[in-house]
Amino acid sequence: MATACPPARSGERIPMHAGAPAATFTETFDGLKARVDAQCAQCHAAPNAVGGFQYGAGLEGLKHDGARMALKASQGEMPPLATPEQTKKAVELACAIDAWLAQGSPTGSFSGSCDDAVTGGVSVEPGVAAAMTDLGHCVPDVTKPELFGSDPDKDAAFAALTKLPPRLSDTDTDIMTFDVEKLAARGTFAFAPTYPLFSDHAKKLRLVHVPAGQSIRYDAQTKAFHIPPNTRFYKTFFKSVAGKDGYLRYRKIETRLIVVREPWNQSLFGTYLWNAEGTVAELHDLRYRNGEPFSDRVLVYTEHEGTGKTRNYAIPGAHRCVNCHTGSEGQNFVLGFTPLQLNRRAPGEAGVDANANIQEDELSQLERLVRAGVITGLPASGTRQELRDLLPKLEGYAQQAGPEGQPVPGKEALELQGYFVGNCAQCHNPNGFAVQSNPAIASLDFSAGGILFGWNPCGVKESNGQRSYAVCDDGAQPDFFLKDLLLRTPGSTLYQRVARDTDARIIHMPANVPGNDCRAALLMARYLGALEWKGEEALSAQDKAAKKQERLRQAEQAVAASCSNPTDVRWITEDFTDKVPYEPRNSRWKDAIGKPPYEHLTRYPITAQHEQLARQSFPTNWWVGKPGCSFPNQPAPETIEPWMLDTLGRPRYSWGRLYSSTPGATAFQGICANCHGRAGDGQSGAAKTLVALNGARVANLTAGLFGATNGTPNLVPFEQEYGAHGGARYLLWMASGGTTVQFTEQFMQAWVKYGEVDIDFSADTRDWASWGANMLGAARGACDLIRLGKFGTATPPSANITAIGGTRMWTEVCTLDNPLTQGIREGTDSAALEEWLRHAEFNVGVMAYFFLRDELSKNPPGWIYPLRNECEKRVAP
């Protein structure tokens, strides 16, 4: 007999693991102490106190320090830069410490579990579990509207919430059953994106719930969805478990929930962690260093019940969620639910893997969502093809990008762009984290309508000018491509980023994602191989095709030989917050500031002139024009400088297009923001690279040094010690010697930027490496060019001639209370020159201090001072 919910026809099968009682362990205090010492003593037992932390040797010491040690271990932060096996042991140790503390810290034996002690809950029906797919176990019949309903009570409750409820069961009436027929009766529906996100090969079930009486509206003009506030998006992650019977089933690990709000940065989001039985999911609430939820965490689950083999599972912290979801295409904090993503395609179409198993119910999902009223703005009676033609298609973007009459991008570009849509575009777009934290890579827009189609990356240098995105010259070596792909550092950085681990130059991509995706490496290698290489322009079409096919063969061979799914996950935790109450990063500050070689930090005065100059606006360049940016008519500036005029003495652009900046904003964005992030929150690519390389944590300046604890500014201790602006003296010490982290030359090559702000300094990487983390060396370099009259000219190695407009500003900063005499200018008095450079460096740091204190930390979190290539952020005068 026909059923209203026939089994789902989907190629993504997720037969659910039935769950098992939580595994328990028995330990003794002596055994626990031995494990603590084995993992921690080398760094944190007396006399060692790495990072300023030392735990006590006996019972009382572990009682006092155990909770902190367990927290760091469960986050994956300790031991630093751990191997997967070390992480696993640390997580197990954290479980044991927590169990020992929870049972009153006994001196004898105790028992515990690494699963949260939760009971009750809901078990999934066997039939539902066995038939589970990425669309649920069945697909309700959309021709029977009586099967679909709403959940008004829950909708009303969510509209009033300011934080997520503690259990997943509180969020949707039937969410724990995973019965999509019951869920549809409550207005909750399954969907699956065309271009999914890679997550260490996890399977996923995605659900959307629109509040009663509302819908997700498609705008035919913008080709975008408008998602109403309080719409809920669920995504449950499953990991495969090999049973003792030899069959693979999938265990529920976490369910992530987003509640859409307007504006998007008010959205609620979090993740619920499932117990071992799979009956209860509780809100993940492990805290960051500052006490805020929710931080990175590592779980360990049994991957093979026959052998007992376990595997790490990484839960990303809230900051990683924000990093990725900030750049959502609809600016609604939602990823994977866009017109392009819902427009499911058959294998081999529009960049979809030709080997994918995609079946009828996956291809027809848009029709169901429209007919169920989840999506409006599209004809409910439309056929699949009619609906598909109304929505964006990847090949449509490809056709639009190519010059008229030129062939559209080939299969390799389509496949790579499809991967980018699901895994890279959320960061690499104008609103994404990658571009917001490093505007120098704004051109790398990897969204569907971005750069890839029609782009030729061959020989194009990265923003730092050091290496090329793609090397497309084999030098007449028939196996050059194969050998290059196998190198530890391949010539093409696009390939290196997806195929190699993070190093001093690059972050492994996709960022914030555990595991290693060999498909990404293969797609990138095939894309590079399909490009037209140097010397092939004059070849016949047949010879070009042969060259391409050989490179594609080499791409397959190289990736097969060099990439494999790791046996376990390595995860480097990130926590860029500061302790509350605030503690200075370097506790030695009182013993160093004002004493050689830092005696000048208290000798130089900080005056009202410094404060006034830090806030003074200087015209330094022209706004870079973009579509949608307009520049109002304005009178000429009070001082007209030569760089503003063309050879005939006319303004190069209208005066309304003059870009102005303050010394404080320029100093911060040209020097400090490279690591500390443009918002001063420690969120930057350089920060992520550093923590992955050596565990170094970049300071969150706005919430740390320039934040407050219970209403008391964190600057107070420094002002009590050194008077007004004492915090500036601490900041300058940290930027000129107090930070002990050393940067390699390779790191500096990748991360030092100066072309996007009106600052100039040496481009000699030996200078960069000598500065290390003490980046006021760049300020010294800029002022030295002012002294020599070479700032913003083609003379120094940097040749950053765009900085010429900043010469007047930098001259005033470098010479404030610091006269530039002829002897200093000529360098004949070495002692006077050294003193002048030291004072100039001090002045620049003070400019950054006032910007941080009075602007960056006083504005809403995430506020940034717009750069001249961000006219869309321009504030009208």
How do residues 343-392 score in pLDDT, each as one tens digit? 999 999 999 999 999 999 999 999 999 999 999 999 999 999 999 999 99
Task: Pick the more confident residue, 764 or 299.
Answer: 299
Question: Is the pLDDT assigned to residue 798 strictly greater than 70?
Answer: yes
Mean pLDDT (whole number) for 732-747: 86
Indicate the SS3 state at residue 245. Answer: coil
pTM attached to this predicted model: 0.94
Task: Pick the more confident residue, 84 or 739.
Answer: 84
pLDDT for residue 404: 67
Question: Is the pLDDT assigned to residue 788 strictly greater than 90?
Answer: yes
Q: What are the tens digits of pLDDT across the range 503-555?
A: 988 999 999 999 899 999 999 999 999 999 999 999 999 999 999 999 999 99
Question: Is the pLDDT assigned to residue 450 strictly greater than 90?
Answer: yes
Structure tokens belonging to residue 217:
């509206």
pLDDT for residue 22: 86
Q: Which of 221-235, 761-775, 834-848 has the lowest mean pLDDT?
A: 761-775
Q: Which of 531-538's residues contact partners 24+ apart within 8 Å by CB, and which partners?
A: 531/456, 531/457, 531/458, 531/470, 531/472, 532/456, 532/458, 532/472, 533/458, 533/472, 533/473, 533/474, 534/458, 534/472, 534/473, 534/474, 535/473
Q: Which of 10-14, 127-131, 170-174 has the lowest mean pLDDT?
A: 170-174
Question: Is the pLDDT assigned to residue 48 strictly greater than 60?
Answer: yes
Total Cβ atoms within 10 A of residue 213: 11
Q: Which of 387, 445, 456 is nearest to 417 (CA)?
A: 445
**DSSP structure class, residue 55:** B
52 confidence band (pLDDT: 50, 70, 90): confident
pLDDT for residue 403: 66
Mean pLDDT (whole number) for 788-809: 88
Residue type, 792: G
Strand partners, 270: 257
Q: What are the tens digits of pLDDT across the range 279-288?
A: 999 999 999 9
Structure tokens belonging to residue 296:
């990175």
Q: Which of 361-364's residues contact partners 24+ apart within 8 Å by CB, and which partners?
A: 361/8, 361/9, 361/10, 361/135, 361/139, 362/9, 362/10, 362/11, 362/12, 362/134, 362/135, 362/192
Peptide bond into 651 cis (omega under 30): no
Q: What are the tens digits of pLDDT across the range 192-250?
A: 999 999 999 999 999 999 999 999 999 999 999 999 999 999 999 999 999 999 999 99
Q: What percent of the chain is modeled with pLDDT above 90? A: 81
Q: Is the separation of the CB atoms in 757 and 678 below 8 Å?
A: no
d(C-alpha 703, C-alpha 581), whole Å: 11
Structure tokens belonging to residue 30:
């002596």
Q: Could you tell me how far CA 175 lies from the centroid of its own chain?
A: 30
pLDDT for residue 877: 44
Residue 587 dihedral angles phi and psi, to the nearest 5°: -70, -5
Q: Is the separation of the CB atoms in 710 and 717 below 8 Å?
A: no
pLDDT for residue 1: 44
pLDDT for residue 876: 53
pLDDT for residue 605: 97
Question: Is the pLDDT assigned to residue 39 strictly greater than 90?
Answer: yes
pLDDT for residue 117: 64
Mean pLDDT (whole number) for 825-844: 96
Question: Is the pLDDT assigned to residue 865 strictly greater than 60?
Answer: yes
Residue 208: C-alpha distances to residues 181, 260, 300, 660 (Å): 14, 11, 29, 46
Angle subtended by helix axes 807-815 and 830-851, to nearest 10? 110
Mean pLDDT (whole number) for 571-591: 92
Q: Which of 225-234, 238-247, 723-732, 739-748 has the lowest mean pLDDT?
A: 739-748
Q: What are the tens digits of pLDDT across the range 677-710?
A: 999 999 999 999 999 988 889 999 999 999 999 9
d(C-alpha 347, C-alpha 482), whole Å: 28
Q: Is 482 exposed, middle or buried (0-12, 13-18, 19+ CB in 10 A)?
A: buried
752 confidence band (pLDDT: 50, 70, 90): confident
Q: What are the tens digits of pLDDT across the range 300-319?
A: 999 999 999 999 999 999 99
Q: Which of 381, 415, 388 is nearest to 223 (CA)?
A: 388
Question: Is the pLDDT assigned to residue 7 strictly greater than 60?
Answer: yes
Question: Is the pLDDT assigned to residue 21 strictly greater than 90?
Answer: no
pLDDT for residue 306: 94
Q: Which of 88, 126, 117 is nearest to 21 (CA)?
A: 117
Indicate the SS3 state at residue 323. Answer: helix
Mean pLDDT (whole number) for 134-153: 92
Q: What mean pLDDT, rounded, does the chain reach?
A: 93
